[in-house]
Amino acid sequence: MHGDIYIKQMEKVFALVDCNSFYASCEKVFNPKLESKAVVVLSNNDGCIIARSEEAKTAGIKMGEPAFKIRDIIEKKNVQVFSANFALYGDMSQRVMNVLSKFTTDLEIYSIDEAFLDISGLKESELLLYGQQIRNTVLQWTGIPVTIGIAHTKTLAKVANHIAKKSGKCQGVLSLMDEKSIEKALESTPVDDVWGVGRQYNTFLRSNGIYNALALTKASDSWIKKHMHIVGLRTVEELRGQPCISFDMTVADKQAICTSRSFGTPMMDYADIEEAVSTFASRCAEKLRHQNSCAGVLTVFVMTNRFSKDPKYVNGKTVQLPVATNNTAEIISHSSALLKLLFKKGYKYKKAGVILTEFIPEGEVQQSLWDNLNRDKQNQLMSTVDKISSTMGRDVVKFAIQGTRRRWKLRQEKLSPCYTTKWQDLLNIDMDRV
DNA sequence: TCTGGGGTCCTAGGACCC
DNA sequence: TCTGGGGTCCTAGGACCC
């Protein structure tokens, strides 16, 4: 058929490269003592498990579990625990992506540890070998092990990746190209392992007798659309082999920027929270300047610990800024004005945050008649601050209101060195003992 | 003692317009 | 008593992702 030939020629092939236990693997790269040990990485404040090495998974540690609940497993199985070191992980991520970009420029960096490659045009028989080549190169050049799934749609590439992760047979690479193997793969994939099916849809689908990905592909379009909307229908079409999710190599500007933290210990003093909120505001402004935008709307929120029995208070306030800005001083002063309105004495605050939205490009800001700020001068100041921060380190210069006490700071008791981003943390090797 | 942080997209419903 | 038709814009909330 004419149509068939057309589709054959157009058919794309995607490879999803996904780092194995990424954060845990980063810790292992620079610390050979960790090899073959169970390693876990904790969220900020040393709260929950956010990464587990293969050995840690085998030990029965679950994703997202609070660390204090699994103290006994950690002790019994000699699990090596680390506080999240995002400076290290971010830098390692860049290295991995750099290696991938040597293979193709058609690269979509999807998250810190995942990228899609458009590898259309290769012969089907070459795909596995090519995947192995990518895998070996990334491992050799960065020390990070990856798994690769290959298919005609991104969602199927995800399925392939998932299976390759679990099955030793695949040696880290699986391609799902022919109908038979796709069907087998879908049947063995629990429906909640499908990319786009979360907790709610999982419950819903199961209560309707759909337990695996294959069954999901057999549901009717109208039923899917009714209950899972257009996004759900796209997922199902992708599982059927029909590409619906676009491949996008350009990094889109963010539409919202948020900086928020839980405090290491609960805070009751206004001054402490003001320090924290000012620091978050400053961080937001940095991120905003980084993408050359100005924000028109600013939100501040505070909350008490939702798990404790103490009185609870959750609140947020939003302002429309008179002139859209990315100036740290302005964003800090609006943030503390909002905090002043929000703050109520007597509560034990656990978390606060600053959110910026309604962005416009720096060059298109509407001036106000009553604006009495010298914006050119302020912009020069900001770019000087940014330059100092990027060469000499963050917070070398900062606003006084951000404070120095940092009583709100994170708990990070098991932080590893920043092996790749701080001179003083570089590894020393004693040649006499090698 | 101890439970993360930062995003995206879509939909329904209300307000408002002619 | 009856009570159109068609549209836009905005917001809150829900779902998902890593």
For residue A14, give both structure tokens: 């995607």
In sequence order, what are the residues at sequence separation of 6 or more whose Cβ sits closer than 8 angstroms to the Cβ of residue A127? A13, A119, A150, A175, A177
Q: How far apart (Å, rounded) are the C-alpha atoms in residues A243 and A139?
A: 30
Q: Which residues of chain A have pLDDT under 70?
A: 1-10, 434
Q: Smallest Cα–C1' distance to nucleotide B9: which residue has it?
A: A231
**Looking at residue A388, what is its pLDDT?**
86
In this complex, the nucleotide whose C1' atom is nearest to the CA atom of residue A201 is: C15
Q: How far apart (Å, rounded) are the C-alpha atoms in residues A410 and A74?
A: 22
The amino acid occupying position A217 is T
Nearest alpha carbon to residue A38 among A50, A26, A28, A47: A28
Q: How far is the CA of A267 from the C1' of C16 (A)?
A: 33
Q: How far is the CA of A359 from the C1' of B16 (A)?
A: 25
String of DSSP letters for A17-74 = EEETTHHHHHHHHT-GGGTTS-EEEE-GGG-BEEEE-HHHHHTTPPTT-BGGGGHHHH
Q: Is A172 helix (H, G, I), strand (E, B) or coil?
A: coil
**Looking at residue A395, what is its pLDDT?**
77
- Going by their DSSP bridges, the two strands A314-325 and A349-361 should be labelled as unpaired
**Looking at residue A9, what is its pLDDT?**
55
**Looking at residue A423, what is its pLDDT?**
86
- Report pTM: 0.93
**Looking at residue A10, what is its pLDDT?**
66
Q: Smallest Cα–C1' distance to nucleotide C18: which residue has it?
A: A111
- The pLDDT tens digits of the residues spanning A351-382 come to 999 999 999 999 888 777 777 778 888 888 88
- The pLDDT tens digits of the residues spanning A262-311 come to 999 999 999 999 999 999 999 999 999 999 999 999 999 999 999 999 99
